[in-house]
Amino acid sequence: MPAQPLNQRHLANAIRALAMDAVQKANSGHPGAPMGMADIAEVLWRQFLRFNPQNPAWANRDRFVLSNGHGSMLQYALLHLTGYDLSIDDLKQFRQLHSKTPGHPEYGYAPGVETTTGPLGQGIANAVGMALAEKTLAAQFNRDGFPVVDHFTYCFLGDGCLMEGISHEVASLAGTLGLGKLIAYYDDNGISIDGEVEGWFTDDTVQRFQSYGWQVIGPIDGHDSDAIRAATLEAQADGARPTLVICKTVIGAGSPNKQGKEDCHGAPLGDAEIALTREALGWPHAPFEIPQDIYEAWDGRAKGEALELNWNGLWSSYAKAHPELAAELQRRLAGELPADFAAQADAWIAACDAKAETIASRKASQNTLNAFGPLLPELLGGSADLAGSNLTLWKGCHGVQEHADGNYVFYGVREFGMSAIMNGVALHGGFVPYGATFLMFMEYARNAVRMAALMKQRVIHVYTHDSIGLGEDGPTHQPVEQLASLRQTPNLASWRPADTVESAVAWREALLRGDGPTALVFSRQNLPHQTRTAQQIADIARGGYVLRDAEKVDVILISAGSEVSVAQAAADQLAAQGLGVRVVSMPSPDTFLRQDAAYREQVLPSAVRKRVAVEASIADYWHRFTGLDGAVVGMTTYGESAPAGALYKHFGITAEAVVAAVQDLA
């Protein structure tokens, strides 16, 4: 039989075949979305997406995000076919231990995967962050004739992403910000795991996104290549609004008995159905076999190399015309802080110690931003509608809403959206994002915080109003268990400083840290300055250190944040009774636990078993430092509405309670 002429449907069928074969081999996965979106992907990746498989980190590449990350084999098939370093053997290892092809796309595993997706809705949020970073970076660095930052962010998403509330938060803000280079393709297949979504998802998606300020195209036939191409051209032409292209598709397209049904959403098709699908698609090839002519048609390496070489020429001319801008942009894209930042930060910390102010640590944080902000043009700050309380605005802030080249985002009441957008900003490069809310409302954003930790991104979460010390707003706003949750999150550094010096050190460490996110937790109430030696100031960076010592240590008091002053007052009383008291300030317990064993033993010698921890947060966390034989003065219930002083007395977070706890120890 003569070979059929190659066409776009054949090229899309390569995706379908790889998806169903890999899921079947793993006996686990989601073949439906890759098969349903194959035609959209073929048009986007072969005709529009600008990338270089031989240099996945090319700075001016278009970004592609698969928000419906359960369809990961779609992305893996695209990366393999277009020439990235992702072999057919890697595809055969889909969902296997230590493979480059895990069940959901994971940042850092396969080249070309821009972000970790899976928790639905966060992918589109990351895409908003990438588009925000592109627009802001372009405004800061592009000059007439030199559009060195000029690329699109494309995102695939499904019904689940649109049902998640985060999609409302980020789509609303994207429209307000006019992110015209953000183009999203909605896989409108009408199916989720439980079946046909018309029973639980009847939104008017067109009107919804139009009300956000988006351009909406469609619904179009998501299997019509000409319609997809025309929609993409129309989307690119609107530089003022983000675009949603609504694509009517058939989930599992090509499967005679399972297409259009939930059966193919999250389970292998089965050998018999795959055989029927091969026949229906006119795909006579063995599992994981791709004909050479199809590989050649998909190969994006030569085109990608040409695109990057062309941009390199533009960059070379830009660097000659604007050498300082080029050097600054190169530094920022590399994620490097200015060479003199650490020294400047140390000078500020010394100044804080000399001033010895008694102020709230949230105010100390703002003062530090005023000192560090002029040194770090890469800072892109923000707050979820609480800037006046979080104190995240510093003197050099300019909102991106009013200034395209600004450095501050007014996120509105969108804690989850803010946190996930910051992940996208960090992944894009060129910025160090920070965003703020009350510590209690970290709960809204919890999964995005976890994703930052999972992806090891330099994202800084500023949380204020850190305890019952916020007072009259009551238990709905008073965090109790949140600190323990943050401190036990892998790869997240959490800091709760005791005064201005620890606050400045915490900011310095968050900014210097390039391999993960940081939570900075600050007080509403004023905190007294703690007297330290130069060595003690240096040891703050180790997360825990000896703040006060005795010639012979009988008891160790451990504390963090506002309660360090409580521990100090208790130490005065105990010392008056003749006890040798060591006070350990532990602004970052997780950082302390990462220190070497010798240092940990030096601070908390195992021979001293009398230990009491005090903090106005959940008590149980601190037993990892006191041991079960020690005591913890902390919270075991939720708070109440009253002035802070009354609450500390009511819940027994006092020096007297600490002294009593020491006396009760055997």
* Number of alpha helices (DSSP H) and beta strands (DSSP E) in the chain: 27, 20
Annotation marks residue 415 as catalytic? yes
Residue 459 to residue 432: CA distance in whole angstroms: 7
Pairing of strands 581-585, 555-559: parallel
Interacting residues of 615 by C-beta distance below 8 A, sequence separation 6+: 467, 483, 559, 560, 561, 563, 622, 632, 633, 634, 653
524: annotated binding-site residue? yes
Report strand pairing: 379-383 vs 432-438: parallel
Tell me which DSSP letter residue 45 carries: I
Q: Which long-range contacts (CB under 8 A, 24 or more apart) does 287-292 make?
A: 287/17, 287/21, 287/24, 287/25, 288/18, 288/21, 288/22, 288/88, 288/91, 288/92, 290/14, 290/17, 290/18, 290/81, 290/88
> What's the CA gap between 261 and 585, in Å, rounded?
58
Structure token digits, residue 218: 């469609």
Would you say 362 is a known binding-site residue? yes
The token pair that represents 393 in the structure block: 């605005």
- C-beta of residue 464 within 8 angstroms of C-beta of residue 522: yes
Cα–Cα distance for residue pair 60/273, rounded to 1 Å: 42
465 marked as binding residue:
yes
Query: Is residue 70 annotated as involved in ligand binding?
Result: yes
CA-wise closest residue to 133 among 338, 424, 414: 424
DSSP 46: I
50 labelled as ligand-binding?
Answer: no
Q: Annotated binding residue at 446? A: no
The structure tokens 């081999």 sit at: 25
Q: Does the annotation list 160 as a binding residue? A: yes
User: Is residue 461 part of an annotated ligand binding site?
Assistant: no
* CB atoms inside a 10 Å sphere around CB 4: 9
Q: Is residue 291 reached through a cis peptide bond, with omega within 30 degrees of 0 on the bond before it?
A: no
| Contact predicate 416/169, CB 8 Å | yes
Q: How many CB atoms sit inside 10 A of residue 213's CB?
A: 18
Tell me which residue has tokens 């060129």. Answer: 430
Q: Is 80 annotated as belonging to a binding site? A: no
CA distance 581 to 659: 11
Q: Which of 42, 106, 164, 415 is catalytic?
A: 415
| DSSP secondary structure string for all residues of 593-607 | HTS-HHHHHHHS-TT
- Distant-in-sequence, close-in-space partners of 544: CB < 8 Å, separation ≥ 6: 558, 584, 585, 586, 587, 588, 589, 591, 592, 595, 603, 604
Residue 15 assigned to a binding site: no
- Is 650 known as a binding-site position? no
Question: Dihedral angle at the C-alpha atoms of 10, 16, 21, 23, nearest 10 degrees?
Answer: 170
Beta strands in 309-399 (DSSP E): 359-360, 379-383
Is 120 annotated to bind a ligand? Reply is: yes
Question: Which neighbouring-strand residues pair with 383?
Answer: 410, 436
| 30 among annotated binding-site residues | yes
- Residue 473, marked binder: yes
Amino acid at 290: I
Exposed / middle / buried, residue 564 (Cβ in 10 Å: 0-12, 13-18, 19+): buried
Q: What share of the chain is helix, strand, coil (3-state, %, to 5)?
A: 50, 15, 40
441 annotated to bind ligand? yes
Annotated binding-site residues for Mg(2+) read: 159, 189, 191
Annotated binding-site residues for substrate read: 30, 265, 362, 389, 465, 473, 477, 524
Q: Catalytic residues, which ones?
A: 415
Annotated binding-site residues read: 30, 70, 118-120, 159-160, 189, 191, 265, 362, 389, 441, 465, 473, 477, 524
